[in-house]
Amino acid sequence: MDIELSTEDLEFRAEVRAFLEENAYEAGTDYNQWRSGWFEKAAEKGGWDVPKWPEAFGGPGWSPTQHYIWEQETAVATLPWDLPFGIGMLAPILMAYGNEEQQKRFLPDIRARKVNWCQGYSEPGAGSDLASLKTKAVLSADGSHYTVNGTKIWTTVAHIADWIFCLTRTDDSGRKQEGITFLLFPMKQEGVEVKPIITLGGAHSVNTVFLTDVEVPVENRIGEEGKGWTYAKGLLQHERTGLAGISRSIVALETLKSQAATVKRGNGTLMDDPGFRAKVAELEVDLMAVEFTELRSLASASSGAAPGPESSILKLKGTEIQQRIQKLTVEAGGIYSAAWGARPVGHGFAKNGMAGYLASRAYTIYGGASEVQKDVIAKNVLGVKRSGR
């Protein structure tokens, strides 16, 4: 898609490109050193290390177009390894609902990427129906701390996380959305046990977290007791907006096209195959439509509004598109996509293709399953009212 860029926007794009080029990773150099240096230099640019944070908290205060340019430019560059849980998910909640002391205590370390966070929401009996969560937090008689007992599941990076933001139940006498309390606590402490879950693609990223008599000081509670659901709902919309990955999909689709053009098919290549071309064209059209939706979402975000129900459209369509690209990549790589590990077999690009495809099955589950996003869109965008609800 071409959008009309002003002279200032073109200058900004040139500045972003220059920054990304000057600070690109050089093979063979110390990765961790480069990573921390990259974030420091991005911070010196005036909040480029936290592009989505509001200006009041050190963000760059970019216009929607500048955000769009950043997304586009960073999608093609190699960025330092980063986790979304602190920067993209907890930070907005701390800014909106945390007290000043909590903001001062947690935000600088989140920004400096010094502390890894994980998200303790889902439980064996509470996923889509998150408000059914049962992990219990009981306030001590002197009101100084909570004692937490329960099980969290699918907790991404719990095995390398320093802290967890966790939904707990402090009251089960009323509606299930009430009586939920938002707590923060360190992972490396008595009573926290992490067990790995190895997923379909062979990776270890998710875990089960068992919590047994974990003591959490009351000053680690965000906002009021029993109001955690309200805070968590806001956070989910931030999470969804971040999961769509539109700019990365645009780059991935271009890469796929050039890879398919190296695969021989009859007298030409796979890109000459009408069936394959049709699938690529369909993807391109859908991707363009989602890109426009993302621009609308950026526009409302830059005016200070929290992401609205359009974040569900982005999550739903963006993740479906990512899966379709993975599927076509496997189709282009054929049997060689099954190759796993360091050495490619056959088409070089196909290596780990099947592992990537299998891992991508989760995209339409985490951050709210697709069926649930459809429900949100039906109710909040299309205004569908269901009887019996």
Q: Which residues bind ligand FAD (CB under 6 A)?
A: 118-122, 127-128, 154-156, 206, 362, 365-366, 368-369, 371-372, 375
Residue number, 65 or 155, with CB nearest to ligand FAD: 155
- Give the Cα separation of 379 and 377 in Å (integer): 5
C-beta of residue 90 within 8 angstroms of C-beta of residue 234: no
CA distance 34 to 44: 15
Q: How far is the CB of 200 from ligand FAD (least distance, A)?
A: 9
Residue 63: CB atoms within 10 A of its CB come to 15
Name the minimum Å distance from CB 164 to ligand FAD.
9
Give the pairing of strands 145-153 and 204-217. antiparallel
* Torsion on CA atoms 88, 90, 94, 96, rounded to nearest 10: 60
The smaller minimum CB distance to ligand FAD, of residues 243 and 252, is found at 243
Closest distance to ligand FAD from the beta carbon of 363 (Å) = 8
- For ligand FAD, the closer of residues 38 and 121 by Cβ is 121
Nearer to ligand FAD (CB atom), residue 8 or residue 193: 193
Region class of 378: left (phi > 0), else alpha (psi between -120 and 50), else beta:
alpha
Q: Which residue is nearest to ligand FAD (CB)?
A: 127
The residue (of 340 and 366) whose beta carbon lies closer to ligand FAD is 366
DSSP code of residue 338: G
Cα atoms found within 13 Å of the Cα of residue 96, Cβ hemisphere only: 17
CB 275, CB 283: distance < 8 Å:
no
Residue 14 beta carbon to ligand FAD: minimum distance, rounded to whole angstroms? 37
**How far is 170 from 139, CA to CA, in rounded Å?**
8
In angstroms, give the least distance from the CB of 365 to ligand FAD: 4
Q: Return phi, psi of residue 318, to 5°.
A: -60, -45
In this complex, which beta carbon is closest to ligand FAD, that of residue 139 or of residue 365? 365
Work out how close the CB of 356 gets to ligand FAD at its nearest, in angstroms, rounded to a whole number.
13
Minimum CB separation from ligand FAD for residue 253, in Å? 23
| Residue number, 47 or 127, with CB nearest to ligand FAD | 127
Say how far apart CA 129 and CA 191 lie, in whole Å: 26
